Amino acid sequence: MRQAEADAEAQEKPGRLIVISNRIPTDEVPAGGLVYAIHEALNDIGGLWIGAGTPSDEAQEGLTEVKSEAYDKATFSLSRTEYDRYYLGYSNSVLWPLFHHRADLLSVYERDFEAYREVNRRVARAVAEIARPDDMIWIQDYHFLMLAREMRDLGLKNRIGLFLHIPFPNASDILALPQGPQIANWLAAHDLVGLQTQRDVAAARETLRRDPDCEAMGNGNWLFRGREFAVLSFPIGIDAEEFARKAAESPVPELQLSPDAPLLLGVDRLDYSKGLVHRFRGFGAYLEQRSQHGTRPTFLQIAPVSREDVSAYQDIREELERAAGSINGAYADLDWTPIRYVRRHVARERLAALFRRANVALVTPLADGMNLVAKEFVAAQNPDDPGVLILSHFAGAAEQMQAALMVNPFDHGNFAHAIDRALHMSLAERQDRHASLRENVFKQDIAWWTRTYLNRLSRVPAYQEDRPRD
């Protein structure tokens, strides 16, 4: 469509929302969380949701429409080689570890970055083909850090926002990334960069301040080669009402435990950032120091495998199995297995009921953008007799959830002490802590998050041209 026609059409119709994420849901109404929130926003505003298609022999230009009722969905194409290099390679073996402060796990290959740039470029071309001037473009996550820059280079002047779901790396982490010096340029192509926490915003500030083309403005925004953009925190939430309802209504799965046996619960994708080995060792330290005649708690860890094609994920799986085996070997009895480790995916209703049954949740990542499990656990509790959340300082959720029992997952003694405290906490203290956590989880829920972010993006003033470098 020519620009003049596109402009004329835009005057008749209010702008659409174009969301780009790694995956698009296949269900007509997706279950729970982020995908449901985006689904709702698209339902309200109308628009298009774009995600990666199934890898094939050769990548094609443009978008393929996916049948959908309420709003449009489309996929961009990926070749199998690009899947290996763009997705498993640069996205998940470079950006993911780096942004979780694990530069030691990086596998840096130039060809992976080339594939990442090529995919970002192809998506930019595809969006440029179909975007109308007043469409708002909302990019999700680290798979598309260069996408906005590529779109600007193609002349797109739309409002473009990014939300990064994972932590923002420290300036020293970025030194390990060959493309590190380009990060400010990538970010500056957006109008609004949304991060999870204030801590992430501070880390981003550190990187932007070091870039000679970037200048902090008096209003808190940034100026990059004459164009203004904002970097702000928007802590993501959950659909608390829905999760609480599920937790109260669903039957608790059979656990072969007596009804009053203390249950500690962990639920995480199997990922090295989630601190599972440290958690097992921390629980081991608790078992070591507990009185032999005291209660015998069971720690149930649900950790469905993810990204199995990346070697760091195979390593963590083996390490975790060894840790569980050795702790159970040391402490188990004929009628008691201290750690139960389930690698199977558990249905959401069953999970919600387990959260409600648990006396203690262990949410102890070493680095995490937010961590929705912490919020789900709080939403699932019975306010009259709530369980205790043990939360790591390194979860993004820590900023909003200081009423949890905060732990340092690297310090096994501190971890053991927190478990002991949680298992012996008075009803009054549990209620107080829970009430304070609950208020935030229900107020700043997922609908609040989408609304706040999109309101901010829609208020961005009209596009200003990038000024060429002097």
Interface with ligand GDG (CB under 6 A), residue from 16, 143, 165, 281: 165
Could you tell me the smallest distance in angstroms from the CB atom of residue 333 to ligand GDG? 28
Nearest to 77 by CA among 118, 41, 25: 118
Shortest Cβ distance from residue 39 to ligand GDG (Å)? Answer: 15
The alpha-carbon radius of gyration of the chain (Å, integer) is: 23
Q: Which stretch binds ligand GDG (CB under 6 A): 72-80, 123-131, 153-161, 364-372?
A: 364-372
Q: Which of residues 193-222 bind ligand GDG (CB under 6 A)?
A: none
Residue 75 or 197: which CB sits closer to ligand GDG? 197
368 a catalytic residue: yes
Q: List the structure tokens of 403.
A: 């009423």
Q: Binder to ligand GDG among 231, 236, 323, 366 (CB under 6 A)?
A: 236
Q: Which one of the spans 106-114, 207-215, 290-298, 372-380 is the region binding ligand GDG (CB under 6 A)?
A: 372-380
Closest distance between ligand GDG and the C-beta of residue 236, in Å?
Answer: 4
**Residues 300 to 359: which contact ligand GDG by CB under 6 A?**
302, 304, 345-348, 351
Residues 377-396 that bind ligand GDG (CB under 6 A): 396
Applying CB under 6 A, among 265, 324, 366, 373 the residue interacting with ligand GDG is: 373
Q: Which stretch binds ligand GDG (CB under 6 A): 126-134, 204-212, 281-289, 365-373?
A: 365-373
**Nearest CB to ligand GDG, comparing residues 351 and 404:** 351
Among 40, 72, 376, 445, binds ligand GDG (CB under 6 A): 376
Which one among 24, 146, 214, 267 touches ligand GDG, defined by CB under 6 A? 267
CB 203 within 8 A of CB 173: no
Kindly state the smallest distance separating residue 137's Cβ from ligand GDG, in Å. Answer: 19
User: Contact at 8 Å (CB) between 312 and 333?
Assistant: no
Cβ count near 419 (within 10 Å): 26
Distance (Å) of CA 304 to CA 344, 345, 357 = 5, 5, 20
- How far is the first Cα of the chain from the last one, in angstroms, to the nearest whole number? 34
Bridge-based pairing of strands 72-76 and 63-66 is: antiparallel
Minimum separation from the CB atom of position 49 to ligand GDG (A): 17
- From 165, 190, 412, 434, active-site residue: 165
- How far is it, in rounded angstroms, from Cα 286 to Cα 436? 27
Q: Could you say which of 368, 412, 434, 445 is catalytic?
A: 368
CB of 376 to ligand GDG, least distance (A): 5
Q: Is the dihedral of CA 38, 40, 46, 52 positive or negative?
A: positive
Q: Which is nearer to ligand GDG, 15 or 409 (CB)?
A: 409
Contact 230, 222 (CB under 8 A): yes
Choices 279-287, 329-337, 367-375, 381-389; region in contact with ligand GDG by CB under 6 A: 367-375
If you search the block for the tokens 């230009």, which residue do you land on? 61
Site string for ligand GDG, 389-428 (x = CB under 6 A): -------x--------------------------------
Q: How many residues bind ligand GDG (CB under 6 A)?
A: 22
- Which residue's CB is nearer to ligand GDG, number 34 or number 390? 34
Binding mask 10-49 for ligand GDG (x = CB under 6 A): -----------------------xx---------------
Q: Which is nearer to ligand GDG, 244 or 285 (CB)?
A: 244
Question: Which x/- pattern, by CB under 6 A, does the window 81-110 give for ligand GDG?
Answer: ------------------------------
Tell me the C-alpha distance between 230 and 188, whole Å: 8
For position 372 contacting ligand GDG by CB under 6 A, the verdict is yes
Distance CA 157, CA 461 (A): 11
CB of 148 to ligand GDG, least distance (A): 19
Q: Is 424 one of the annotated active-site residues of the chain? A: no
Where on the chain is the footprint of ligand GDG (CB under 6 A)? 33-34, 165-166, 236, 267, 269, 302, 304, 345-348, 351, 368-373, 376, 396
Catalytic residues: 165, 368
